[in-house]
Amino acid sequence: MKSARTLLTTLGAILLTFVALIAALVVSRSSVDAKTNDWVGSWNTEVLIPNLNVMFPALMTFNSDGNLIADETPSPLETSGHGAWIKTGGNEGAYTFYYLVGDAADPAKWTRGKVSGSIKLSPQADKWSGPFKIIVLDQNGNTTFSADGKMSATRINVEH
């Protein structure tokens, strides 16, 4: 009787360990899938504004809660971009972020930039691209500049 109970306890422990291992693998795999099947994550981005003949690098991070952080070539008078993104269907999405720019000659002056765009994720979920519009507003909310452009991005992956 004692050996049957020991055998059942051992088999139960083995089964419980096996179920826990399977559950851990499923959760781990679904987390990877969730990250690689949408925009969640960080991206190396190239920004092109054709009518200004300007191209520069940027970094963008799409958080799973819908928040977005964007940075371009560092400037001592410009903040990071802060905003939001949504999935609009399939492999398409949209975003808007704002940033502030100070005036070196007059610290009381500043402008606010607004960037809005759409993105299309590649089938492999490792690249996206899409058009955007930038609008620069003065302190009274008047448009002082606007331009259209295109962003292309490649996912930043862990290298090990």
Q: What is the span of the domain harbouring residue 62?
A: 38-155
Q: Looking at the structure, tell me whether residues 18 and 96 fall in a common domain.
A: no
CATH of the domain at 144: 2.40.128.120
Q: Looking at the structure, tell me whether residues 25 and 43 fall in a common domain.
A: no
Q: Is residue 115 part of a domain?
A: yes
Q: Is residue 130 part of a domain?
A: yes
In this prediction the pTM is: 0.75
Strands 67-72 and 81-89: antiparallel
Provide the pLDDT for residue 3: 55
Provide the pLDDT for residue 21: 38
Provide the pLDDT for residue 130: 98
Q: Looking at the structure, tell me whether residues 90 and 137 fall in a common domain.
A: yes
Go through the chain and tell me how many residues it has: 160
Provide the pLDDT for residue 62: 97
Provide the pLDDT for residue 76: 86
Q: Looking at the structure, tell me whether residues 66 and 145 fall in a common domain.
A: yes
73-98: b or e for each residue (b if 16 or more CB lie within 10 Å)? eeeeebeebebebeeeeebebebbbb
Q: Looking at the structure, tell me whether residues 150 and 73 fall in a common domain.
A: yes
Provide the pLDDT for residue 8: 40
Residue 57's identity, in one-letter code, is: P
Alpha carbons 23 and 32: distance in angstroms, whole number? 14
Provide the pLDDT for residue 12: 42
Q: Looking at the structure, tell me whether residues 59 and 87 fall in a common domain.
A: yes
131 strand-pairing partners: 150
Provide the pLDDT for residue 30: 36
Q: What's the total number of domains in the chain? A: 2
Q: Cα 32 to chain center, whole Å? A: 15
Q: Is residue 88 part of a domain?
A: yes
Q: Looking at the structure, tell me whether residues 105 and 124 fall in a common domain.
A: yes
pLDDT mean values, one per 10 residues, the chain (160 residues):
48 39 39 58 97 96 96 90 95 96 90 96 94 95 96 94
Alpha carbons 147 and 43: distance in angstroms, whole number? 22
Q: Looking at the structure, tell me whether residues 32 and 42 fall in a common domain.
A: no
